[in-house]
Structure 1
């Protein structure tokens, strides 16, 4: 496939192909709907590019396999859906503590508990506030389209290597199962990928001192120092890695805030609202962590109202309120359990508010 080709592809498979083109040659996973096609795709595709696929006995095992593979400095990933990602959380904390680059994909389904296989955004807290134990962060991306999912998957591997940090691509069952035309980039030359020989576990061959990859130190003072060093890195990420989209915000008096699939849906709501004389626009966070607080907060000068729309009972709305900092009212509308808000019902709620 050439870079200029557009191919009709399913969301989960688009993410898998993007990972392979980004240089991922190691995948460990366990099937769970609505992302099982991604696991199936990697099982079929990786042997074709001299990669390794392994289906583990559980999601707990997956996260520990990721830990081990990432310790070698190779590009590695897994994918799962909400309950599966919950099972991975201890391993995620270990990986973040050991400062290892890798990529997770969570195709979110309705919850809590087993829930259903319909799309939802109710894993936002888990993704952005740290679903495991301890002080750590993941970089989190929330794509709105399959093309953006491809681009963010590739970016995820790059920033994971750049900062030695796990990165999560947070999508949902709708985006995972839909089909759209996608343009894939060319394959990355594996010989040009970042060199991690200064820390990776590659075998000393009696030519260097052994490397040590760990997430803890029994000396509390040393452990605190490790945590401080990580958080200094997080400060750099906050400065350098925020991503967001602004849609018709130049004169907006009402700012709709939504991410992922909902960020896409509310654009049509804004178009309809403007036809009715309401000056509305969309602010769409793409990096959910780091969240673009300052960039969203700038609109408090001119906007009269902020309106957050989510496929949850309201999780990102807390970050929106932090960004607005009490300067303007923040309203919320959401559906949960796998119900996707329609443009019509969001528009009706917006008109009611204004």
Structure 2
């Protein structure tokens, strides 16, 4: 049972709340609580190190939940390719309290017609450090009470370390069809320019031998209104980029294979998105609100204190909701509802390493 439980925790550790699904700028933030994971009976002085790689290609356009396949058929779709890597570290300050930090990097490409004078398709790029997160979490149970399950609450800070005014070359947009250097689209900016607060929770529960339930929840509060980065969009109300909140929720079951020590499978659901309005502060400027609901199968394998995890969330529902500017600019004769491109699936591959002080726990020597 110890082997299965440690596999589960490190499997969740290796898998980030890895956002970013397309034109809806759900960035690659990870919940502090599960950024690098902790055994639910942790020991003071334990370390966890992890890294996570994620990839997606978005190209299917949605307005609300309605797909617009003609965009692909006509060759007018916007395509985003996104690669991201997170490096994470966690340290157990006590049997319950832990501190974490996560340093993400990203490389993005975006192919479109409309951003290049609608004459020919070109690429824009961004790459480098994204927004760093630091924080702490607290397991509510310890000792024997935590053997069959536990719940952790966390709070953190998102620092505006990523470039939120990353620029690239745009063609056919200057005088006489010349090219200009402009900020890239909000969906591939490396940061949002805001100092944010993250509220998080994670938990697990043993149902029976080798079968566990898990969940991760995350909300990013971004009080800043806009970040000053120009969008060059037609509507004046969308001239500057917004600094939006974000949210995510994962829940499912994990099954450990007793006959193959360290091997486990998971199946769950996943919700992530950008709200229309922020919980704190104003919500002006340009944003593409929306959400994705996915089914999330996964496989993990633990060898010693190292666990490798592969998760592939597959989108079931994609919804580009109406923004505040859509609502404000609509009239009885002109209903506005912006669109966004979404991915079919997301690939997450993570590796987590737990470094224990090797002290006695209810499971034996760790």
TM range (shorter): under 0.3
TM (normalized to structure 2)? Answer: 0.26
TM (normalized to structure 1)? Answer: 0.27
Of Structure 1 and Structure 2, the greater strand share is in: 2
Q: Which has the higher contact order (CA 8 A, sep 6+)?
A: 2
